Amino acid sequence: MLQQAYVEDCLSRTQCHKWYQHFKLGRTSIEDDPKSGWPSTSMDDIHIEKVHAVIRQNCHLTLRAVAKEAGICKSLCHLILTEKWKMHRVAARFVPHLLTRHSLSMNF
């Protein structure tokens, strides 16, 4: 009945049972546990510059290799390359979207 009344603002039956089990086993906090994985602050200037430095050093690296060297996840690395640096892959190289005579002569 709560789900019908509150739609998305209500826990599902399964989630209610999970929380019940947590409290039954001695949990006292209602806050979520810290999540593992990549920090949400990875999209800062340091990581953006690190990705660009890795690409300048070797533009033939795969996205996974660039992400590993920069210490960020693959999807964030792709976002930095395409949105921040306006690059995309052409013939296994990352190159700027707008190819000009000047950009072709630059070493990436």
2-23: string of b/e by CB count within 10 Å (b at 16+)? eeeeeeeeeeeeeeeeeeeeee
At residue 45, the pLDDT reads 87
DSSP designation for 93 = E
Mean of pLDDT values over 52-69: 88
At residue 94, the pLDDT reads 66
Mean of pLDDT values over 22-44: 77
Of 22 and 37, the one with more pLDDT: 22
The overall average pLDDT reported for the chain is 79
**pTM to 2 decimals?**
0.49
Q: Distance between CA atoms of 80 and 44, rounded to whole angstroms?
A: 10
pLDDT at 88 over 90: no
Q: Distance between CA atoms of 76 and 82, rounded to whole angstroms?
A: 10
